[in-house]
Amino acid sequence: MNKLEEALKNFPYQLILGSASPRRQELLKSLGFEFLNKPMKVDEEEWPRDLRAQEICIYLAEKKAAAYEELKEGELLITADTIVWCEGKVFNKPENFAAGKKMLESLSGKMHEVFTAVCLKSVNKQTVFFDESKVYFKKLKPEEIEYYLTNFSPYDKAGGYGVQDWIGYIGIEKIDGSFYNVMGLPVKKLFEELIKF
């Protein structure tokens, strides 16, 4: 058994993922860690309005961690939050078709930033970090936006789109930074932080 296998096998914490996102669950599982999934309900529209860019998702990731009150000795909670930031404005999850359409029209033909913050919390320690990716959209046609919203219902995704969905295949010209960060979990950084923790 090599050192990495040993570190994963003898990981000293029971991991708890505090997220309802199927993408985050899939990514954490793919890293090789076993975990329990316990999503929490937190109002993601509530944050101090003077916060900008990554400050927003850092605040929300820590807010989600604070909402989990059952943490026991030997457990390590992972919470995360992803935002889309474009031209000084935050794009969270769209409420409906009209909001999704407006978001995608705003992102069309532009570069935007995706920030994901992750909070790791045990009984006596807490750390938070974030990652940033730049996403470049082509100019989207109105029929492409409508087709995507009608057939893929991306209403649980920041910015109204999933990078791993149809719109990502046909609409994204390039990404500077981590693809998985845009999906909702910066897995490279998370892996390093977990091993360090």
Q: Where residue 57 sits, what CATH number does that domain have?
A: 3.90.950.10
Alpha-carbon distance of 14 to 130, in angstroms, equals: 22
The tally of domains found in the chain comes to 1
pLDDT mean for each 10 residues of the chain (197 residues): 72 92 92 89 89 96 94 96 96 94 97 98 96 98 97 93 96 98 96 91
137 burial (CB, 10 Å; 0-12 / 13-18 / 19+) is buried
Cα angle, residue 166 at apex, residues 186 and 80 outer, rounded to 5°: 25
pTM reported for the whole predicted model: 0.93
User: pLDDT at position 2, please?
Assistant: 76
List CB contacts of 97: < 8 A, sequence separation 6 or more: 149, 150
**Tokens encoding 145:** 């936006």
Domain extent for 10? 3-196
List CB contacts of 7: < 8 A, sequence separation 6 or more: 195
Q: Let me know: does 92 contact 140? Beta carbons within 8 Å.
A: no
User: pLDDT at position 170, please?
Assistant: 97
Alpha-carbon distance of 83 to 89, in angstroms, equals: 10
- Cα 172 from chain centroid (whole Å): 18
Which residues are the active-site residues?
A: 81
